[in-house]
Structure 1
Amino acid sequence: MLPVSRATLESMRDVAPVPTRPRVLPRNDPRQYDDLADEWWQPDGVFAMLHWLAEARAALVPPAERPGALLVDLGCGAGLLAPHLAGKGYRHVGVDLTRSALAQAAEHGVTPVNGDATAVPLADGCADVVAAGEMLEHVPDWRRAAAEACRLLRPGGLLVLDTLNDTALSRLVAVHIGERLPTVPRGIHDPRLFVDARALVTECARHGVTLQLRGVRPQLGGLLGWLLRRARGAAGTAPGGRAPRMVPTRSTAVLYQGWGVRKG
């Protein structure tokens, strides 16, 4: 990968300036990420939960086993995974459709690739790790995206992901409740795209990756404390404090993590 020039980064920022008035867009419209470009690195902003999930996802990634090991971050957004990979020894390549987000990812040490998760412009078997965090439920054809994630892995490479299950409970929690809290932007999800956990396991197995799953959720006390601090922040007091931790659950009915190694 060639280094990204300052001129390239500036052009990526300039491609979609943040409008002065919020647009009303269809659910899951990628243009929302341009409109919310200033929110990515606000730890108490509308993408707060993505920060918490990035930390939990990174915990599944072991230190690199060889020099030059490559981690491909599908749907990387503004690179929220990067701080949690510091010191693990990976070259971090981020793939995303949104150029304004990629410009911010590059500022955090991610090599940006503007591309579609269903047709990634990278070579077969190039990656030691592929991360697909909070991405599959935004792709009209998640099966193709899962196949691409597996294709990119070298034999013995690790796939880590998190996504929303295709259940009535998930639609209730993630859309009807979650999008009314200050942790998730309204309209960011299209529940018709949510990913059935059993179907995802089957799809990854077709491509040589045996996926293990577990449910995850924010630790309840931490979430309530964060919401209270956030409410006080809206009234003029800085939120501050520790962000909620994501903790494992027995049920994968709403939000779940997956991890698996590609067979040799």
Structure 2
Amino acid sequence: MPTGRTRADAGVAAPGGRVRRLPRNDPRQYDDLADEWWQPDGAFAMLHWLAQARAALVPPATRPGATLVDLGCGAGLLAPRLAGLGYRHVGVDLVRSALVRAAAHGVTPVNGDAGAVPLADGCADVVAAGEVLEHVPDWPRVVAEAARLLRPGGTLVLDTLNATALSRLLAVRVAELFPGVPRGIHDPRLFVDARELIRECARHGIALRVRGVRPAAWGTVRWLLRRAGVSLVGGDAPRIVPTWSAAVLYQGWGAKQG
């Protein structure tokens, strides 16, 4: 979820089918698409798949009252994937319409900027930063906040888009050609170089490991067909799988040194 705005106008479908012109990465796009959040085959379908993959990196809570702080939580898509792990789930986001939906799924909502979180130092056993770093104008500031929020030994988990020509091509120019993919959600100027992210995390005492991931091909094809109105029965649910290259989309995880 974004915490800042950049220019480069993009058309976004608003309620009632109308289209309004908004800058790329403008948070108001999420208000226009608010009803799509919990639609499995909706505009945010891939965020569901990524939430499942991100949750797989979250370790079970090791103490009573453990807290997971979810930066850029959106409508709380991570919440059902954390069931049984033992965390109080606190979600931080700028978009109030998304937080209303997150609260309905058991998330404690905090309206705020991921780069200036109104929570105490060391309050989190886990910080999740899923699909947020590529939406902020100052991602090192968000990394610093994540480290501040983490208690010693706490875990950071994240996923984001790499700052490569291939990523800009596939995640923006190609992706936005497909039906059902929101136009203007990403500003490619904000994508995050994986090597720089590793170095920045190290500065804050977090030894981040990264790996490339991608949507499973057949699941993605099935989703696109359903979005195009093709009726399909059965088949595997779409999911995110590891891949040999982190040049486009990648996950990161690591513990804060005590």
TM-score (norm 2): 0.91
The answer to whether the aligner puts 1:189 opposite 2:211 as a matched pair is no
Give unpaired runs (5+ residues) of structure 1: 1-17
The answer to whether the aligner puts 1:259 opposite 2:256 as a matched pair is no
How far 1:79 sits from its partner (Å)? 0.2
Structure with bigger strand share is 2
* 1:139-218 alignment, distance < 5 Å: 139-182=136-179, 184-218=181-215
CA contact (8 A) 1:46 1:182 kept: no
Q: For residues 184 and 234 of structure 2, what CA distance do their matches in structure 1 show?
A: 27
Which digits, 9 at most, give the CA deviation of each residue in 1:2-56, with x for residues without a partner? xxxxxxxxxxxxxxxx644332101000110001101100110110100000000
CA contact (8 A) 2:51 2:130 kept: yes
How far 1:183 sits from its partner (Å)? 5.4
How far 1:263 sits from its partner (Å)? 0.1
Q: For residues 149 and 107 of structure 1, what CA distance do their matches in structure 2 show?
A: 25
The amino acid across from 1:184 in the alignment is V
The answer to whether the aligner puts 1:55 opposite 2:49 as a matched pair is no
Q: For residues 19 and 227 of structure 1, what CA distance do their matches in structure 2 show?
A: 22
1:11 match: none
The amino acid across from 1:165 in the alignment is N
CA contact (8 A) 2:211 2:243 kept: yes
How far 1:241 sits from its partner (Å)? 5.0
Where do 4+ consecutive residues of structure 1 move more than 4 Å? 238-241
* 1:241-260 alignment, distance < 5 Å: 241-260=235-254
CA contact (8 A) 1:123 1:152 kept: yes
Q: Secondary structure at the match of 2:19?
A: coil
Q: 1:102 to 1:238 in 2, by over 3 A?
A: farther
* 1:72-87 alignment, distance < 5 Å: 72-87=69-84
Give unpaired runs (5+ residues) of structure 2: 1-13
Q: For residues 125 and 179 of structure 1, what CA distance do their matches in structure 2 show?
A: 39
CA contact (8 A) 1:57 1:162 kept: yes
1:66 match: 63
TM-score (norm 1): 0.89
Which digits, 9 at most, give the CA deviation of each residue in 1:84-109, with x for residues without a partner? 00111100000000000000000000
Superposition CA RMSD, Å: 1.4
Q: 1:232 to 1:72 in 2, by over 3 A?
A: same
2:9 match: none
The amino acid across from 1:115 in the alignment is G
- Kindly tell me the number of residue pairs found equivalent between the two proteins: 244
How far 1:232 sits from its partner (Å)? 3.1
